[in-house]
Structure 1
């Protein structure tokens, strides 16, 4: 179940770098359950259109999300929300 109230509004004019704002917004969507583990993300160009930002900003945001362990990209298949690591 998605709790949209936990997802902040996306503001590309805010104080953050645009790619960080996109990464944080997608991370918030994952945390709120809007994007479930295993869900396929739209193509980078589609996300760029959805967010109203440059394609390269979305590409850099995806790199940040991969570094955070929130998404994984499978060559030829797409980008997916990563399964959370079990807590120890």
Structure 2
């Protein structure tokens, strides 16, 4: 389990994608474990020094990637590890 670098977006990348990538790196490094509850979006906006709507868009990106789950009234959680599927040799792509 590695340590995740400090959040430093590059000038050419979209800020919400940079935040989603950083949170993904935190998940991959084991800093955020499956089932862990993420901080509220407004708190993440303060932590990352961005507008609330930027974090909200990053959360949409992470949901689309399958990295987080949001349960209405409960919060946002790191998605469980997805089992890696091995290709079925009887099926062609």
Tell me the C-alpha RMSD between the 2 structures. Answer: 1.2
Structure 1 unaligned spans of 5+: none
Instruction: Note the C-alpha offset of 1:54.
Output: 0.5
Structure 2 unaligned spans of 5+: 86-93
Q: Which of the pair is proportionally richer in helix?
A: 1
Q: 1:59 aligns with which of 42, 45, 56?
A: 56
Instruction: Note the C-alpha offset of 1:12.
Output: 3.6
Which consecutive aligned stretches of 4+ in structure 1 deviate over 3 angstroms post-superposition? Answer: none
Q: 1:7-22, aligned counterparts within 5 Å?
A: 7-12=4-9, 14-22=11-19
Instruction: Note the C-alpha offset of 1:13.
Output: 5.0
Q: Which has the larger radius of gyration?
A: 2
CA distance in 1, matches of 2:84, 2:10: 36
CA distance in 1, matches of 2:56, 2:30: 22
Question: Given the two structures, how large is their TM-score scaled by the length of structure 2?
Answer: 0.86
In the alignment of these two chains, the number of paired residues is 85
What SS class does the counterpart of residue 79 from structure 1 fall into?
strand
